[in-house]
Amino acid sequence: MTKPLVFITRQIATDATARLQEVADVEVWPQEDPPPLSVLLDKISHVDGIITMLTDPINAEVIKAASPKLKVISQMAVGFDNIDVARATERKIPVGHTPGVLTETTADFAWALILAAARRVVEADRQVRKGIWKPWGPDVLTGFDVYGATLGIIGFGRIGQAVARRAKGFNMRIIYHSRQRKPDAEQELGASYVSLEDIFRFSDILSLHLNYTPAAYHLVNRERLSLMKPSAILVNTSRGAVVDSEALVWALQNKVIAAAALDVFDPEPIPPNHPLLFMENVVLTPHIASASRETRRRMAFMAVDNVVAALAGKPIPYCVNP
Ligand code: DGY
């Protein structure tokens, strides 16, 4: 009997691929860069399952091209804003994702950015490498204290709460804003719910952890940035489109806020010559918040679990369709 065929749009952990090979023939896109649209259109038109990454535009056009036998679109990420879930649902194709397994790793990285931006770690490293070691001086590379500061978190789900948990060790005041209040988490973490305006007003460090939906587009805009303290730091590990980057450039250039640390951008990669690339008070990383070896392996296995279930005709365990 022929096995079903699954396409994976990037190489994933070899043991996760091997698990999938027990039940399917597997084709893997061999390059580090994402497959072009023409490849996605071709593959999806004849496979039984597909494992996608957040860089693959699984839009209406791609879903329209899907084979009638396609049983699952399994995204190796918790976010799935690159997938037109409504179209997939119309075609009764389950869409899977990988929640939970990357929470702690992503929270660790948000903290790496918080500390790097507040204490100017990257700027200092650049100076040392360039041979600029300014002798110790009262004002040399002074940053902002994290200990005892107010941490604002927008989006108080798994990752936002994991970031807050770490903040307790820094004796921070924690405020949050999310669509719904989370009384249990408020109690556990000593966090206070505030309005969207107040989180911009009162945060010393504002870290974004909301799921991306069209309603979150440019939530961080010029008007809200204007509410922030001149000493405030903005950290984004959610999705680039949450921040209006032109407004952010304006805020940083005009010292409306002090610094930013961004792991995500809209579009990705950030265009060459973007003004943020030339600002000392900006830390930029290429969407790597979940990039630990263990976590990427766990994500790969979870994505495979979704495919294995779908191929067996069972409901997928981590489904995003309504
Ligand atoms: C996700 O999973 O959505 C992150 O952005 C990448 O791991």
The whole-number mean pLDDT for each consecutive block of 10 residues of the chain, a chain of 322 residues, reads: 95 98 98 97 98 98 98 98 98 98 98 98 98 97 98 98 98 97 98 98 98 96 98 98 98 98 98 98 98 98 98 98 96
Q: Which CATH number fits domain 103-284: 2.40.50.140, 3.40.50.720, 3.40.50.2300, 3.10.20.90?
A: 3.40.50.720
Residue with the nearest Cα to atom 5 of ligand 1? 79
Atom of ligand 1 nearest to the CA of 291: 7
Asked if 5-101+293-311 and 103-284 have one fold, the answer is yes
| Rounded Cα–Cα distance for residues 134 and 141 (Å) | 9
Rg (CA), the chain: 21
Which residue reads 């037109």 in tokens? 84
List residues near ligand 1 (CB under 6 A). Answer: 54, 77-79, 102, 290
pLDDT of residue 243: 98
Position 81 scores a pLDDT of 97
Is the alpha carbon torsion for 77, 81, 82, 83 positive or negative? positive
Q: What are residue 31's phi and psi, to 5 degrees?
A: -95, 160
Pairwise CA distance, residues 290 & 286, whole Å: 11
Per annotation, catalytic residue among 10, 224, 239, 298: 239
Eight-class DSSP state of 3 = P
The pLDDT assigned to 8 comes to 98
Question: What is the rounded distance in angstroms from the CA atom of residue 290 to the CA atom of residue 103?
Answer: 8
Residue 1: its pLDDT value, please?
A: 79
Distance from Cα 117 to the centre of ligand 1, integer Å? 21
CATH of domain 5-101+293-311: 3.40.50.720
pTM of the model: 0.96
Cα angle 259-246-225, degrees, rounded to a multiple of 5 = 50
Instruction: Tell me what percent of the chain is helix, strand and coil, each rounded to the nearest 5.
Output: 40, 15, 45
In the reported structure, the alpha carbon of residue 159 is separated from the centroid of ligand 1 by a whole-number distance in angstroms of 11
For the chain, the structural domain boundaries read 5-101+293-311, 103-284
Q: How many CB atoms lie within 10 A of CB 277?
A: 11
Q: Do residues 81 and 300 lie in contact, with contact meaning Cβ atoms separated by under 8 Å?
A: no
